[in-house]
Structure 1
Amino acid sequence: MTYDQMTIEEFLHEKIQSSNHNRISYACFMETVLYHKMGYYQKDETKIGKDGDFYTSSSIHPVFAWVFADYFDAYCKEKNLPFHICEIGGGDGSFSKQVLDYFKKTKPERYGELSYSFIDVSEEHLKTAKMNLDQHENVEFHSSFSKFKQHHKGFKGIIFSNELLDAFPVHVVEQREGKLHEVMLTMEENLVMKEIVLPSECEEILQWFEWSGIALPENHRFEVPLKMMEWLSEIAGILSKGLLITVDYGYQNKELLDSALRNGSLRGYLDHQLIENPLLHPGKMDLTAHILLDSLVKRGEEMGLCKHYLGKQREFLLENGLFDHLVEHDNRDPFSDESRLNRAIRSFVTPGGISDAFHVIIQEKAH
């Protein structure tokens, strides 16, 4: 049977059977069910918005992108940098379109100076983004960061991502009887995934815990972001001057070991429903884990990316002109553009709303 004839469960079964000791890591599972050609991100289906599985801030209203657009502009002007924005994991191109449309309408001169690089590993996303951005000639598209790097060594400008790192593959570990164990996966005869918890033999994981200084409580489950560490090193290697801006949900070290998180943060999302068991519906649902904010900052500083800002998304939006976009109007239609805009602005600052869940992390390479 060729890969084209297999289901993703059959592909996982073959992968497990050909592995050492008939098991794979959670990181390998996530890489397969999310990013393989049969995986979630390669599906020819809507993933974002009302008809998808989850919302992003960009799908609520373009004002989210407008605030970032002004921030990008002001920073590049202040630092006398090329006006070049690189968006990684841009999805269907909504954020990119909102930024580019905004500049074209409100700052046409700046729009003429802008270069935009769009990166997404999903062929389906790239196809949709190219259609959404077909009115903008200053955009280049890449299917991987590696391909982008080939054309932009010593990049100067801004690298941006929104809800990218939370979908990176992670290793899942637990502390048992005073020792670190890794949660591995095998498959039963009925092609159902099953966990096996074994003493950790992965040197990289053991070194990561030593580096991070995190000591897990007994029976505490935890996600180790080796892929994120690798990615950050890659970013630091290409960014010669400018910013890395990450918008995502995550925890600082002091929050990670709370008993409320003893089962870890890895979850699935399907039809806007949270699915607690990440092994269900392989290839059919999104998988996410909260990112480790302190580890992102610490590794960044080791790589020359100094912390420029870390705060809740609500605080960032308020500090950078969100309320400047409020409009006075006497239109009583709740579905008018003015009403939608003002309502969206309120939703971005309401305690307990979407902006409470997200952080903005800005890391700067000044030289």
Structure 2
Amino acid sequence: MAIQTMTFRDFMEWSLLDPEIGYYTHRAKIGFTGNDFVTAPEVSPVFSLLISEQIMELDRYLENPEKFYLIEAGPGNGTLMRSILTYLRLIDSHLFDRVHPILIEASPVLRQFQEKQLSGLMLKNPPLWMDMQTLSLSNIEGVILGNEFLDALPAHWVSMTNGELMEIHVELEKDGIVKKVQKPLLNPEVKNYFDWIGVQLPEGCEAEISLDAISILEKLDSVMSRGFMLWIDYGDRSAEKYSERRNRGTLRGFKGHQLIDQVLDHPPGSIDLTVHVDFTGVLKRLLELGHRLEGYSDQMSYLIALGVEQVLEENRLSETEALAAATLIHPLQMGRIFKVLLTSKGVKQKERLKGFPREALLPLLLSDHEYEKKDLI
């Protein structure tokens, strides 16, 4: 007999963030040896170097504000933030002196890693830690970024059954068994999401919708007066994410660097849970909030446009280091599945940013003709 039933969205939040059993509050094992998964900053320092150069370019577009806020949502082990700040100290000391690092982190375990990573950097403006509930900044100028952050936010799991949108719930049994059950959809915001993005889930398909991602984008936008948002994650546009090709959805787990399809076969809190990002929905909400699309591309095209090949040629990397860096752009590894979205707010500059030449842009919401007509990029 089931002792508890909840929506999958609530189950995912509980499994990842619960103070007693949550994956991120207790395990949060990021890295190679003995961990569950690895992110681009751990794969190769080349990733952080190129992101640092992009941030320096964005600082110039903002005309070098006296206080440059660098906000990272979901900083993981702190590797990316530490590397960016280290590169700024070496390459752009003027920006290094002006930067105000803010780390948005809900996990006490990961915050310990981050504090250790950032110790000893001799920052003029010490880093601050906040979570979404305590984010109290206002009218900031700078960059908000997230690498593999949006994919880990709780998501509703739905299915189209006999022409009706149903929500998948989770039943927790006394013996620890977790089962999924379909129930009528009660949250109108979930159905409205499909209407909003203009996509209908095909019959017999399952999918995930992260209303939490939209809420967090709104919260982050509310603190920014001028600046950029840079999101790097695995995902796709709505028409692909909610297609028959993805008929079983994109919900996955990771443990010991192994991809797990049947996530409910593992005890809550024991594995990382993720869903692919709907970049159409992310962009659409940011445009509604007054942002301007600066670029959308896959990670391979983005890093190549930023000069990854030149970096690899100019630096004497070992064979192991070169192979690791190549993982970032390999089309069958991180190069194609990861996407990069950059938007601006309150920035009048209309020149093409380095990471997004016209030929590298991917369609998101509109055709090329409509992009030019609406002056979105």
How high is the TM-score relative to the length of structure 1? 0.87
Give the corresponding residue for 1:31: 13
Asked if the contact 1:126/1:143 (under 8 Å) is kept, the reply is no
Deviations 1:182-232 (A, max 9, x none): 111112231211111112121221222221222111110010111111111
**Does the CA-based 8 Å contact 1:63-1:341 persist in structure 2?**
no
User: What count of residue pairs does the alignment treat as equivalent?
Assistant: 341
Other-structure match for 2:259:
274
Which residue number in structure 1 is paired with residue 138 of structure 2?
A: 153
Q: What residue number does 1:362 align with?
A: 342
1:240: Cα distance to partner? 1.2
Letter in 2 for 1:314: M
SS of the aligned residue for 2:77 comes to: coil
Match of 1:317? 303
Contact 1:94-1:132 at 8 Å conserved across structures: yes
Q: Return the alpha-carbon distance in structure 2 between the equivalents of residues 129 and 141 of structure 1.
A: 11
SS at match of 1:282: coil
Q: Which amino acid aligns with 1:140?
A: P
Give 1:165 deviation, angstroms: 0.5
Alignment partners' CA distance in 1, 2:133 and 2:308: 34
SS in structure 2 of the partner of residue 118 of structure 1: strand
- The verdict on how the C-alpha distance between 1:45 and 1:208 changes in structure 2, with shifts beyond 3 A counting, is closer
Contact 1:236-1:304 within 8 A present in 2 as well = no
Give yes or no for contact 2:71–2:143 (8 Å, CA) kept in 1.
Answer: yes
SS of the residue 2:245 aligns to: helix
Q: Where does 1:215-364 land on structure 2 (aligned, <5 Å)?
A: 215-279=200-264, 280-327=266-313, 337-364=317-344
Structure-2 separation of matches of 1:143 and 1:301: 26
Tell me how far apart the structure 1 counterparts of residues 99 and 259 of structure 2 sit (CA, whole Å).
Answer: 38
**Partner of 1:332 in structure 2?**
none
Note the 1:174-193 alignment, pairs <5 A. 174-193=159-178
CA distance in 1: counterparts of 2:157 and 2:51, whole angstroms: 34
* Aligned-residue offset at 1:45: 5.8
Could you report, residue by residue, the CA deviation over 1:270-323 in whole angstroms, capped at 9, with x for unpaired residues?
001111112223101100000101111111111112221100011111111223
Is 1:57 the counterpart of 2:44? The answer is: no
CA distance in 2, matches of 1:348, 1:47: 17
Q: Do the aligned residues in 1 keep the contact of 2:160 with 2:206 (CA within 8 Å)? A: yes
**For structure 2, which runs of at least 5 residues remain unmatched after alignment?**
348-377
Give the direction of change, closer, same or farther, for the CA distance of 1:79–1:106 in structure 2 (3 Å limit). closer
What residue is the counterpart of 1:73 in the other structure? 56
Partner of 2:362: none
Contact 1:171/1:224, CA 8 A, preserved across alignment:
yes
Indicate conservation of the 8 Å contact 1:43/1:124, yes or no: yes
Deviating 4+ runs (over 6 angstroms): none
Instruction: Say if 1:236 and 1:305, in contact at 8 Å, map to a contact too.
Output: no
Q: 1:217 to 1:45 in 2, by over 3 A?
A: closer
Deviations along 1:316-348, one digit per CA (max 9) or x if unpaired, are: 11111223322457xxxxxx8554554444332
8 A Cα contact 1:326 1:341, kept in partner:
no
Question: Is the contact between residue 236 and residue 339 of structure 2 (CA under 8 Å) also seen in structure 1?
Answer: no
Q: 2:151 aligns with which of 160, 166, 169?
A: 166
**Amino acid paired to 1:231:** I
In the alignment, residue 340 of structure 2 is paired with which amino acid?
V
State the TM-score, normalized to the length of structure 2: 0.85
- Which residue does the alignment assign to 1:117? 102
Letter of the structure 2 residue corresponding to residue 310 of structure 1: Y
- Give the CA deviation at 1:126: 0.7
Q: Secondary structure at the match of 2:133?
A: helix
Unaligned runs of 5+ in 1: 1-12, 330-335
1:3 — aligned with what?
none
CA distance in 2, matches of 1:65, 1:265: 27
Instruction: Please give the root-mean-square deviation of Cα atoms over the aligned residues, in Å.
Output: 2.0
